[in-house]
A and B are shown apart, each in its own frame.
Chain A
Amino acid sequence: MLRIENLSKDFGGLRAVDHCSFEVPAGTIFGLIGPNGSGKSTIFNLVTGFLLPTEGEIYFKGERITGWPPYAIVRKGIARTFQLVRVFRNMTVMENMLMGPKHQAGENFVAGVLNLPAVRRQERENVKKARELLAIMGLERFENEYAGNLSYAEQKLVEIARALMTDPDFLMLDEPASGINPTLVENILQHIRRLRDEHGKTILLVEHDMNVVMNLCDWIVVLNYGQKICEGTPETVSCDPRVIDAYLGV
């Protein structure tokens, strides 16, 4: 589904990602782990078009997407969340959710101003879908609350739900479990599994919580100083001495 070939990114004299290659097969939950500063979020930004690579190529569904603008990449079917949440603070949770769906007729200036029947119908469908997702995330009571008034964890959940509203084929989650209580984490994990099992979605996950990574991921890539040092199943990776040395510790 996603293929990264020989990807590198320099920030001035600092090489954040160093000739990194891996492939995420369709229908898997794929983990990207490594110490802080190992290049995980940079890879997220490269794949989603927020950064241009210094070298290398990115392919999605067989098509080269290197250098595409972020909006075009999302329309192709990739959605993401951010390590530091980026909710629209002075908009309600429902408005945040309704920013998600692609190809909204009402986002066209003329159709939106005229409020055509197709716009109203699509809006009703999107509101219904948003309410279902908010219920899954336990956020339904915040529908009319400004997103900026929610706690950090709740904002994180809004961001995940909002990304799901884009109906992505490929979902990239940057530390989805950080700062969220264990019960809710379990809810999110179940939902992520369902996305894979029932909807055939592919998920790329950055996470420091090893319980989450080991329980959820089918395949893991480990980064250190921007380089891939190991990849394999959770069992293989957790026993690899290079990973233990660089990241997991004893």
Chain B
Amino acid sequence: MEIAVHLLVLITIYGILAISLNLMVGMAGLFNLGLAAFYGIGAYTSAILSRNFGVPVGLSLLAGVALSALIGFIIGLPTVKLVGDYLAVVTMGLGEITRAVFKNWVPVTRGPMGLPGIPHMSLFGFKLDTAPLFLAFSFVMIAISFIFVERIRLSPFGRVLRGVREDEMGAQALGKNTYWYKMIALVVGSGLAGLAGGLFAHYMSFIDPSSFVMWLTFFIFLAIMMGGLGNNLGAVVATGVLMVLREGLRFAGLPPAVAAPLQQLIFGILLIIMTIFAPRGLIPEQKPRYD
């Protein structure tokens, strides 16, 4: 039972990451490989503020969201103009730089030793210090994130994002200032990733740089590719399926030296298969209807 609740909490947190990446990649076509960086910035910001400075957890969580969104904005200023592979390279670099900062800025992040004793989530003085209570909170968070991004998808704003994804020049020829549409998608997506990071920190009570590696970004990429680029429900469901698969491998009785690489091998192969055979996912983006 405990394991199931733990798994569900992780699914909600990674589900928020999948929704965030789906907004940036699936809807806006921004090939952001720096997702783990924004996730880590949210986690470290909220952890440090609450742990070291006694900031109430709700506020520190919001600060993590705000800082992730701000870093997204700053990174976006020079890079949003880049297209496809170029943006991927820049954001991948950001991911690695951020991880290096987490690892080496020892006075603040405690480097590889990580940050222990991160306060648990609390709401209006009520501590969410058990997994089931936290699950209820993280479920509300993913529900809000889901509804929020669905509203974006169904709005004329979301339509322009999809237009930018399809053909940026075509969108410009229809009077759309594509730079700012992409920027807003990046800022909102980064903020959501920061929210997931903050939730992770306060749930686990301990974080270290190993939680924010490039592999996580690829894992979430695989989830949104399986679930269907631009399809938020598909992305969340696929995250759940992959998480169950991932955790299930731990119970297969394999030695740890085999289980971990095998897990990465399986996900790597799945990513290749999806890219070749179903690049837009198993459940395609839904067509909006106009009455």
What is A's interface to B at a CB cutoff of 8 Å?
48, 50, 69-71, 74-75, 79-80, 82, 86-92, 94-95, 98-100, 102, 104-109, 112-115, 119, 123, 127, 143-144, 146, 162-163, 165-166
Q: Are A71 and B166 in contact (CB under 8 A)?
A: no
Known: A74-B175, A166-B174. A50 touches B169 (CB 8 A): yes
Q: Are A106 and B156 in contact (CB under 8 A)?
A: yes
What is B's interface to A at a CB cutoff of 8 Å?
148, 151-152, 154-160, 162-163, 166-167, 169-178, 184, 280, 285, 287-290
Q: Are A109 and B184 in contact (CB under 8 A)?
A: yes
Separation of A89 and B184 alpha carbons in the complex (Å):
23
Q: Are A99 and B160 in contact (CB under 8 A)?
A: yes
Q: Which residue of B lies closest to A86 (CB)?
A: B170
Q: Are B174 and A75 in contact (CB under 8 A)?
A: no
Q: Are B162 and A88 in contact (CB under 8 A)?
A: yes
B residues less than 8 Å from A146 (CB atoms)? 287
- Top 5 A-B pairs, shortest CB-CB distance: A112-B155, A106-B156, A74-B175, A112-B157, A88-B166
Output the least CB separation between B152 and chain A (Å).
6
The prevalent SS among residues of B at the interface is helix
Separation of A179 and B152 alpha carbons in the complex (Å):
37
B residues less than 8 Å from A91 (CB atoms)? 159, 162-163, 166
**A50-B173, A69-B177, A112-B156 provided; 11 other pairs, C-beta below 8 A?**
A50-B169, A70-B172, A71-B172, A71-B177, A86-B167, A90-B162, A105-B156, A113-B148, A144-B287, A163-B173, A163-B174
Subset of 20 A-B contacts with CB under 8 Å: A50-B169, A71-B175, A71-B176, A74-B173, A74-B174, A82-B170, A82-B173, A87-B167, A88-B162, A88-B163, A90-B162, A98-B156, A100-B174, A104-B156, A106-B155, A109-B184, A113-B151, A115-B151, A163-B173, A166-B175
Known: A91-B163, A115-B151. A162 touches B174 (CB 8 A): yes
Separation of A107 and B154 alpha carbons in the complex (Å):
11
Separation of A109 and B159 alpha carbons in the complex (Å):
11
Separation of A249 and B166 alpha carbons in the complex (Å):
41
Q: Are B175 and A102 in contact (CB under 8 A)?
A: yes
Which residue of B157, B167, B285, B290 is within 8 Å of A113 (Cβ)? B157
Separation of A57 and B167 alpha carbons in the complex (Å):
28
A residues less than 8 Å from B169 (CB atoms)? 50, 70, 86
Q: Are B166 and A119 in contact (CB under 8 A)?
A: no
B residues less than 8 Å from A108 (CB atoms)? 157
Known: A99-B163, A127-B290. A107 touches B156 (CB 8 A): yes
